[in-house]
């Protein structure tokens, strides 16, 4: 998942201010373009916590407009966001998903927690119980 971001030069302090149309909670800055990009990757993942904490669907990235740069989520965070969105879309509660997977509810709680690392195979299995598949590609 790649989110378009606007890198606005900061005329007063130098560097760049980074904002995201799709995730307005994500705002950061950096002294150089490279530093701003690194900070953008971090703040984007951190800002998604807002959606996870409130069980809100994570907005999917829109197409980049002229002058915007794409900021990529890690595969694990992207997979978790897609899982959360599917759970919300199908109205599948964590306890329901745990029963489908034959695991303790705590394991599903960890799957939809950005602070916890989850094996991609577990997320793939969870999506499969909801009739979906996870596809990964190299571009």
| Per-residue pLDDT reduced to its tens digit, 14-37 | 899 999 999 999 999 999 999 999
pLDDT category, 127, cuts 50, 70, 90? very high
Is the domain of 56 the same as that of 84?
A: no
Does residue 90 lie in a domain region? yes
Does residue 135 lie in a domain region? no
- The model carries a pTM of 0.90
Strand partners, 53: none
Is the domain of 32 the same as that of 6?
A: yes
Is the domain of 34 the same as that of 92?
A: no
Which position has the token pair 């599903």? 108
Is the domain of 29 the same as that of 84?
A: no
The number of domains in the chain is 2
**Domain ranges, residue 23:** 2-72
């Amino acid at each position: 998942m790649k989110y378009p971001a606007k890198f606005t030069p900061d005329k007063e302090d130098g560097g760049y201010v980074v904002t995201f149309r799709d995730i307005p909670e994500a705002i950061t800055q950096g002294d150089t373009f490279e530093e701003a990009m690194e900070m953008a990757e971090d703040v984007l993942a951190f800002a998604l916590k807002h959606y996870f904490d409130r069980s809100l669907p994570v907005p999917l990235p829109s197409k980049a407009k002229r002058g915007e740069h794409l900021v990529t989520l890690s595969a694990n965070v992207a997979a978790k966001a897609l899982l959360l969105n599917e759970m919300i879309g199908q109205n599948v509660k964590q306890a329901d998903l745990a029963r489908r997977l034959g695991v303790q509810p705590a394991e599903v709680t960890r799957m939809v927690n950005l602070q916890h690392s989850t094996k991609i195979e577990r997320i793939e299995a969870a999506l499969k119980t909801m009739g979906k598949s996870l596809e990964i590609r190299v571009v």
